[in-house]
Structure 1
Amino acid sequence: MASSPSTSDDILDSLKKNVDPTVLSERDAAMRKRVAKQYEKAQNQLRNLVNANSTLPVTISFINIDGAKNTRTGFLRKVLEQTFAESKGPGFTLEDALRELRRDCNTFYKFGIFHPPTLYIDSAGKRDGKTMLKAEISLRELPRFTLKTGTDMGNTEGSGYPEGSGYLSLTYRNMFGGAESLNGYASTGTRTRSAYELNFQAPINANPDLILETSGYASTRSHQYYSSHEEVLRGGKVGVKWGEHETGYTGVWRQITGLAQEASPTIRGDAGDSVKSSLWHAFTRDRRDSHLLPTRGWMVKSESEVAGWGGLGGDVAFWKNEMETQVAAPLGASGVSVSAGLRGGLLYPLCLGVGDNRKPPQPSRINDRFRLGGPTDVRGFKECGLGPRHGNDSVGGDIYMAGGASIYFPLPKVGPEKPLRLQAFVNSGRLVGLQGLAEDSGDVNSSVAGALKELGNGLPSVAAGIGLVYAHPIARFELNFCLPLVKRSGEKGRKGLQLGIGINFR
């Protein structure tokens, strides 16, 4: 007599209840192991098949894109057109086809609007002695809108006047179906009273390595901790990124305001409005294994800016350049590593305007000068503690040199694979202003020569110390015991514990 469905279900439930959970777990583990072995076997077979047929003449007849529902068809075709063109050429093989299709998948991923793509390839017969291939690239789009809120800790000493802020960030991806993005950002905090930015980016000619960027921003930031004033910025920029280069134009209205009662004459002299109109270029080549805690590799970086020269306009004119290099290397297989860096900068005043409106070079403003010192810059000194001062105010300088070296040790019972290290370091720096340049007279070249001579006059400021370093994926944290060894007159050292939090440590 046949049992009813309900009776069968009861019997199965009863049998399941009588099975030891440990046995079920072991069976599941064995099943997963068999599946993993089958997958590995299939991958090996596919790899062997490809290797055996890598020189097989092929052509790509069809590529299907699946899952890109918010992306323009013309944009997708632009990415694939090189692959189709290459596949029609003589001597195109299966190995070439796989390389081109993988490059297409990598290109789609680099746009920042898709999860990692999946590639499928199959044969579609033969024609003219070549195997026809059909491919499918499966894409899964990231959410078009992303909203984030949280708190930031900027480059800071962590004492006295720490930089903390709350922020709101909104991203609109793939805005017009061509990997464009619109990013809005707003924050408020202790030093940065308020900051707002709206940024638009779009790839040029469907190339993820050629990006057009334009943005507008406004901010109010307090410098009272070291320089008795606040700075208000309102401006915009437009630029192009390609490979390791970035260039563009910036126009910004600056205000020196909120002066403290004890503000120095230098700060008061630069108070008020200023307009900067400049062209800039940046180059970065980074071969380090980590920008937060490198253990091997090297980096070189250059930033140049020309403001107010010729027909650029604005009311400041200068050429400003900074160069930086860093190298890191492991010491054997113990997890110990060393890093060393050197950097320098020059601000060279230029004539403002052209023709009858041309003005002679003017001394630099506090907005544009270099600053030096701090836990993420030259450890063992207060933020902006190096260089020229007027009263209690740091007023910045026009030429600087700085460098340092660190040795990193893995902590006992932690291991070298963890981003936590004990460091010993020594660093130094010197910042000077131009000598003898007045608003109505003075030779720039002789002023620069005098500043360079002063830069090499005597020892630079030097500090050494030991501490702990933790490289979080978002920021680097340091807690160091610092000892200033050489401190020039008027400069602000910091003996004892110093906390540094930031993303750019030098």
Structure 2
Amino acid sequence: MSVLDDDSPLDRLNSQRTDKSAEYEAKKQSLLVKHNREVVDRLLSTNLTRPIRITKVHVVNAEMLRDTFLETQLAPLLNNERLDLHGLLKNLDLTTSNFARTSTISNIGAMLEVDPTPSFVTVPPSTLRIIPVIQLDPIKRFNMKIGTNVGNGEGDGYLSLQYRNIFGGGETISFDTNMASNNLNSTSRSTYLLNFQSPILNNANWLGSIMGYHSSKLVDWTTRNDQTIEGITLKSISQYKSPWNYEFSVENTLRSIDLLSTNSLNDTLLMNAGDSFKSSFNFTCKYDTRDDSILPTKGFHSSGSIELSNLLPSPNFQESKFVKLTSHFQHAFSLNKIIFNGLFKLGYIHSLNHSNVHFMDRFFIGGPNDIRGFTLNGLGPKLYGSPTGGLAFYGLSASFFTPLPFVDSESFKTHTFINAGKLITDSNFRDPSVSIGSGLVFKHPIARFELNFVLPLSQSHYDTTRKGFQYGVGISFM
């Protein structure tokens, strides 16, 4: 008995077709999905232990992809070594995942057909000869977004351009710019980013990128200054389906600090004013089993990174050489619709040439997305009221999320938390600053919004507290 009948429902529908109306296309797609499910169910029920041989692979809508790239993504399906139905479905899943991770398609479908043609290769009589059919929906190659926001004498504008699958192998070039002002006729922030990224050697597991950028912003949480960064960064990022992933990068940047005020002058800023050059090597290792990165309900996340800065000689700049270590741990679980999140993070900078670490490389903590109940970067020592940063820190957080009463939505939650942390400058790890609070959380697909009432419980004499309501937006919170 053939697994796939010659007179399938799809064939009967095609024979009765009189036009290509939307109703016909919808019915055709529905029958196609139903028929494919029936084929797979019959294959599973009657051929679970039979040996499998893939005679060929049929790919629909592959014209936009080059041959070498296509062969690499289809490699799991071309493996016929000791293949059974379970192994075939596993390889089929890996193939569809390969295409999805290369950002070359908007959607993908797969079905299995039995090869009706006679075999010219000697195979055991019980071998089931299969033709996988891969249906690709190519991604839109060009995309542009532009917008503005204006109000109360301030505003911003942005432009984003993206051209994808340039050479038929998942290559993407993008340009993003953003300009903002908090005063009429003046610019407080501008960013330009040009980025080219592509799978490395057609491998969906590794993505390489080259970024050129320019960023200028007005900093007013310390002595008022303009900070400018421009440079080039090369990155290699893994995209494995396993929890473990890695990132390597090489960064070369020219930085500038332009002091705008001489009132309450921060000596640390004064020493670092002007131009400086930074060249660094970075490595990050991540382990992530969370079901969501913005507001997880279960899973564990840990990451550790090391940065080696200015190890190569710079003829025109005398820069500090240092090693920077950071770690992050988070655990989430749920119990009767109550979500618990626990988080711990820490960092340490060690100077290699006994010089002062640059102001832009130091740690700053505190604020609505960090240790709540304190102003932005408000923890740690101050000089004339301006933060100077630190060479080590740690932070802890415990949060409980519960559904809103009488609101049937997974996006809105109530939030109760306790935060603790310390910016370390004198080897004293004890007596952290602590705050508690409660509020509302809205989880959007691309960000998290919080409105909390916070109360600092303990702080050092140089911390700047923020009692009352505090609003935060971001993708990473304590």
- Match for 1:491 among 457, 463, 477? 463
Mapping 1:374-413, distance limit 5 Å = 374-413=367-406
- Match for 2:112 among 104, 121, 125? 121
- Match for 2:134 among 134, 137, 157? 137
Aligned residue number for residue 50 of structure 1: 44
State the shift of 1:96 in Å: 2.3
Aligned residue number for residue 283 of structure 1: 285
Aligned residue number for residue 295 of structure 1: 297
Query: How far apart, in 2, do the equivalents of 1:50 and 1:297 lie?
Result: 32
- Match for 2:324 among 320, 323, 332? 320
Mapping 1:69-468, distance limit 5 Å = 69-84=63-78, 86-87=79-80, 89=81, 91-124=82-115, 125-126=118-119, 127-128=121-122, 129=124, 130-150=127-147, 165-190=156-181, 193-242=189-238, 243=240, 244-262=245-263, 263-309=265-311, 315-331=319-335, 333=336, 335-351=337-353, 361-415=354-408, 418-433=410-425, 451-452=426-427, 454-456=428-430, 459-468=431-440
The one-letter code of the counterpart of 1:216 is G
4+ residue runs of structure 1 moved beyond 4 angstroms? 35-42, 310-314
Greater mean alpha carbon deviation, residues 120-129 or residues 70-79: 120-129
* Contact 1:220/1:232, CA 8 A, preserved across alignment: yes
Gaps spanning 5+ residues in structure 1: where? 1-27, 154-160, 352-360, 434-450
Aligned residue number for residue 60 of structure 1: 54
* Contact 1:293/1:419, CA 8 A, preserved across alignment: no
Aligned residue number for residue 19 of structure 2: none
State the shift of 1:205 in Å: 2.3
Structure number with the higher helix fraction is 1
Please give the per-residue CA displacement for 1:241-280, whole angstroms capped at 9, x wherever unaligned: 1241001210001101143131323322211111111100
Matched, 1:480 2:452: yes
* CA separation of 1:152 and 1:330: change in aligned 2, threshold 3 A: farther
Aligned residue number for residue 25 of structure 1: none
Query: How far apart, in 2, do the equivalents of 1:386 and 1:115 lie?
Result: 45
Please give the per-residue CA displacement for 1:308-358, whole angstroms capped at 9, x wherever unaligned: 125588623100011111111112x2x11211111110011013xxxxxxx
Query: How far apart, in 1, do the equivalents of 2:137 and 2:314 lie?
Result: 45
Query: How far apart, in 2, do the equivalents of 1:341 and 1:66 lie?
Result: 46
Query: How far apart, in 2, do the equivalents of 1:165 and 1:283 lie?
Result: 35
* CA separation of 1:402 and 1:114: change in aligned 2, threshold 3 A: same
* Contact 1:420/1:471, CA 8 A, preserved across alignment: yes
Aligned residues: 433
- Partner-residue secondary structure (3-state), 1:47: helix
State the shift of 1:480 in Å: 0.6
State the shift of 1:98 in Å: 2.9
Query: How far apart, in 2, do the equivalents of 1:407 and 1:38 lie?
Result: 45
Gaps spanning 5+ residues in structure 2: where? 1-22, 183-187
The one-letter code of the counterpart of 2:383 is H
Please give the per-residue CA displacement for 1:399-427, whole angstroms capped at 9, x wherever unaligned: 11111111111111114x51211111110
Aligned residue number for residue 17 of structure 2: none
Query: How far apart, in 2, do the equivalents of 1:318 and 1:275 lie?
Result: 14
State the shift of 1:499 in Å: 0.7
Q: Larger relative contact order (C-alpha < 8 A, sep ≥ 6)?
A: 1
State the shift of 1:37 in Å: 9.9
* CA separation of 1:140 and 1:363: change in aligned 2, threshold 3 A: same
Greater mean alpha carbon deviation, residues 196-205 or residues 46-55: 46-55
Please give the per-residue CA displacement for 1:202-248, whole angstroms capped at 9, x wherever unaligned: 11122111111111111001111334222100111112112410012
Please give the per-residue CA displacement for 1:52-71, whole angstroms capped at 9, x wherever unaligned: 20222221121122212221
- Partner-residue secondary structure (3-state), 1:149: strand
- Partner-residue secondary structure (3-state), 1:196: strand
TM-score by length of 2: 0.85
State the shift of 1:304 in Å: 1.3
* Contact 2:452/2:471, CA 8 A, preserved across alignment: yes
Query: How far apart, in 1, do the equivalents of 2:91 and 2:297 lie?
Result: 33
The one-letter code of the counterpart of 2:72 is K
Query: How far apart, in 1, do the equivalents of 2:113 and 2:346 lie?
Result: 56
Aligned residue number for residue 5 of structure 2: none
State the shift of 1:135 in Å: 2.7
Please give the per-residue CA displacement for 1:89-122, whole angstroms capped at 9, x wherever unaligned: 2x32233223223321221122112022122322
The one-letter code of the counterpart of 1:240 is S
Larger Rg: 1
The one-letter code of the counterpart of 2:142 is F
* Contact 1:344/1:402, CA 8 A, preserved across alignment: yes
State the shift of 1:42 in Å: 6.9
* Contact 2:285/2:303, CA 8 A, preserved across alignment: yes
The one-letter code of the counterpart of 2:307 is E
Greater mean alpha carbon deviation, residues 470-479 or residues 280-289: 280-289
The one-letter code of the counterpart of 2:254 is W
Greater mean alpha carbon deviation, residues 61-70 or residues 391-400: 61-70
- Partner-residue secondary structure (3-state), 1:70: coil
* CA separation of 1:480 and 1:230: change in aligned 2, threshold 3 A: same
Query: How far apart, in 2, do the equivalents of 1:39 and 1:182 lie?
Result: 35
Query: How far apart, in 2, do the equivalents of 1:279 and 1:378 lie?
Result: 29
* CA separation of 1:96 and 1:400: change in aligned 2, threshold 3 A: same
* Contact 2:237/2:247, CA 8 A, preserved across alignment: yes
Coordinate RMSD, CA, aligned: 2.6
Structure number with the higher strand fraction is 2
- Partner-residue secondary structure (3-state), 2:90: helix
